[in-house]
Chain A
Amino acid sequence: MTTTLGARAPSTLTFTQKLSRLDYKASPYLYIAPFFILFALIGVFPIIYTLNVSLYDWHLLKGQGDFVGLDNYASVLADPFFWNAFGNTISIFLLSAIPQLIFATVIAAVLDQAIRARTFWRMSILLPYIVAPVAVAVIFLQIFNQYHGPIAGLLELFGLDPIRWSFDVFPSHVAIASMVNWRWTGYNALILLAAMQAIPRDVYESAALDGATKARRFWSITIPMIRPTLIFVVITSTIGGLQIFTEPKLFDGRTYGGGDKQFQTIVLYLYELAFPRRDFGRASATAWILFIIIILAGLINFAISRAIRTGDAKPTRIPRVRPAALITPTRNGRRA
């Protein structure tokens, strides 16, 4: 009670004053409440509830059974199909995240230049992101048709054997990763572009006066100055990549990641456990294992990014602009 407002004796306040004081104190919480209420309902509660389910023998249709402790976790970790899904997920993730980030950075750097019809180009790169994943899948399934696709036609032209896109492990990962890349490269490019736009132009100008080439300016100015955003993009891509579901599901809609599980990802494995196989307990355990894997991946990312920072000889004194933070909420659960 040391503020000027509180210093007055409460009894002397009129009703309107009381109301206005309440408004002053409570309103901010009310304004932010919807997010937290929603988050608690559709974020926290399912996570905790999943933990509960994962400790029981839980049949999808028949419901809760006996308490089994960590048995579900043990059986998932002992299941070769889980490790198959884990390997596929990592493989698809690497095949998508790495080219995606490289291309996104390059595209952003190009769009950061003074080019004609800038807005048009910037809008265009976001176009793939707007297209529904189902439509993307229809297009890519045509391209990656082992027998009739354009790639098959091209290979035939050169007398080469067709690539068994949906049967062989690696080609199927490439096909799925290309869907992911097509959809997300432009999106990431826009985020990186926003970060690049925030770099003061005079830094480039003085570097140019000092004789730095374009490439040198890109490596020594652009990249270090967008690093926080790069880290953000890497982390969100990791989360999205590990949760990949839609693309492999649509790649062969009748199976849960290929007839021989060639491209079954962790979430598809989870889905198969939960629905056709009706083992909700083990599916929930898988969800938690994935959750832990994502946290671990996040920590590794964090550690690497710290290492990069400390490894940097000259500590940058550039204001840490984080335009990407504005976009954060929509990134939650991408690709889910």
Chain B
Amino acid sequence: MTTSRRAAAIAIAGAAAFALIASGCAASGGGGASEDGEITLSITTFGTMGVDANYEKYMEENPNITIEATNLEGGGAARDDAYAKIAAGTGLSDVVAIEEGWLGTIQEVSGSFVDLRDYGIEDVKDDWLDWKYKQGTDADGRVIGAGLDIGPQGICYRGDLFAAAGLPSERGEVAEYFGGADATWERFYEVGEEYVAASGKAFYHSPRFFWNSFVNQQEEGYYKKDGETLNIEGNDVLKDQLAMIVEAENDGLGAGLPGWDVGPEAKEDKYATYMCPSWMLGIVQGYYDAGTTDSGWDFADVLPGGSANWGGAFLGVSEASEHKEEAAKLALWLAAPAQQAASFELAGPFPSTVEGQELVKDSTSAFFNNAPVGEIFAARSEGVIAQVKGPEDSNIQDNVFGPIFDRVSQGEITDGDTAWKEAVKLLNQLVG
């Protein structure tokens, strides 16, 4: 390390510490070992990943290991936290959860994470879905992330509200009503109009979720396949979908709510559907008291426009870890089929291993009206393509289209052309 790199590290560490103090997060310490072989491994996760379901068991099986876990509230917080610590060259947990949305950025500095091939990941390579394993591999063939969950999507809906509006409410019928295997976005909005007309209430909470699902469905999303060329300006597929969403919002399909924290509104019956990637199940359930089974929520095996994957995490091991061997062992264990299945049972993120999926195939969710969630997600993950994400993917999602949908929801933009022009304007201001 040259002097200027060191100085940079110090300065950035200072900035990172400032950021942490400012945002009120507790910094998690690195691992430390005492003489008798006791090892503390730190792990940072985010959202409802359900990984915590397995910590106790691991510590029981490995009495010399203590797991010190930090769970950050959202993917954005986890991303900023990881970036700051990578930049500082210090402070990263031994095991770090990485989201698909910013994996592309992490790949640019993949040297910050160990090559899991050195710790035997190749022996269990066939456990994972091909594309998931590939996503965790960088351009040089180093495997920097052990796949945890994937995000196949179905539609969460309120069976009770659907019934009250005279729509089918049984999940098989609902899926058919949306068009089953041939479901289209047009049909989705049509059903929405029916619901709004019959109930006088909004159909969905925010267009952001539907938009993201749509983008993830495309062969190429915000970026071309090379992961470098932007794929937005002049993209009529995206433009048409945006226009359709603006139309739906004008028709009162949306509840005009912000993207995420809408638990109270769910309870007040303000909307009836939610686009549900697997990890979203835990979030919806989290709005209600533990053990709730009569919320009215159900889960249908359908996605307008066909299958899509949205999100999913990886576990990486910090190159700066003092216990790489043990940390890698823990990461691989947490990402192994049996543990993925346990995480799924706890919080809903769908396993990315074939055997893990097999283990949860009979699983049902009492919260979602006993929906056979294991079976539905398995069906929903068929035909998923792993879209190439570019370095600014999450920035575009949050800062280009996010504000547009807020303005559309609040009635400040009412035609598709304007929405698109504004989006392109924002894009050129932010990514250029």
Contacts and interface: CB of A to CB of B under 8 A. Distances in A.
B33 interface: no
Interface stretch (B124-132, B239-247, B394-402): B394-402
From B15, B19, B108, residue with most partner A Cβ within 10 Å: B15
Contact of A53 (B11, B22, B77): B11
B7 A254 contact: no
A164 B11 CA distance: 39
B227 interface: no
Interface string B56-94: 000000000000000001101101100110110000000
From B11, B112, B259, B430, residue with most partner A Cβ within 10 Å: B11
A194 to B, nearest CB: 29
Contacts of B77: 253
Contacts of B105: 61, 278
A42 B14 contact: yes
Interface in A230-272: 245-246, 249, 253-255, 259-261, 271
A46 interface: yes
Interface string A191-229: 000000000000000000000000000000000000000
Contacts of B8: 53, 63-64
Contacts of A132: 24
Interface string A45-60: 1100110010000001
A278 B83 contact: yes
B18 A336 contact: yes
A255 B146 CA distance: 29
B3 interface: no
A61 B87 contact: yes
B22 A249 contact: yes
Contacts of A79: 429
A253 B73 contact: yes
Interface residues of A, number: 39
Given A46-B14, A61-B105, A275-B19, A254 B83 contact: no
Contact of B86 (A61, A80, A253): A61
Contacts of B407: 260
A101 B261 CA distance: 35
Contacts of B5: 63
Contact of B87 (A50, A60, A276): A60
Interface in B248-284: 258-261, 264-265
B23 A249 contact: yes
A275 B80 contact: yes
B403 A49 contact: no
B11 A276 contact: no
A45 B406 CA distance: 41
A336 B407 CA distance: 31
Contact of A254 (B11, B76, B112, B264): B76
Nearest to B16: A275
Interface in A119-141: 132-134
A261 B108 contact: no
Contacts of A45: 11
A91 interface: no
Contacts of A64: 4, 8
A61 B18 contact: no
A261 B15 CA distance: 22
Given A147-B264, A277-B430, 17 more contacts: A46-B15, A49-B11, A53-B8, A60-B12, A62-B108, A63-B5, A148-B264, A167-B410, A253-B73, A253-B74, A259-B258, A259-B403, A260-B403, A260-B406, A276-B76, A280-B12, A336-B18
18 contacts: A45-B11, A53-B8, A60-B83, A61-B86, A62-B108, A62-B109, A80-B429, A134-B24, A147-B265, A167-B410, A245-B22, A254-B74, A259-B402, A259-B406, A260-B406, A274-B15, A276-B398, A277-B395
Interface of A: 42, 45-46, 49-50, 53, 60-64, 79-81, 132-134, 147-148, 164, 166-167, 245-246, 249, 253-255, 259-261, 271, 274-278, 280, 336
The 6 lowest CB-CB distance pairs between A and B, nearest first, are: A260-B403, A259-B406, A61-B109, A275-B80, A49-B11, A134-B24
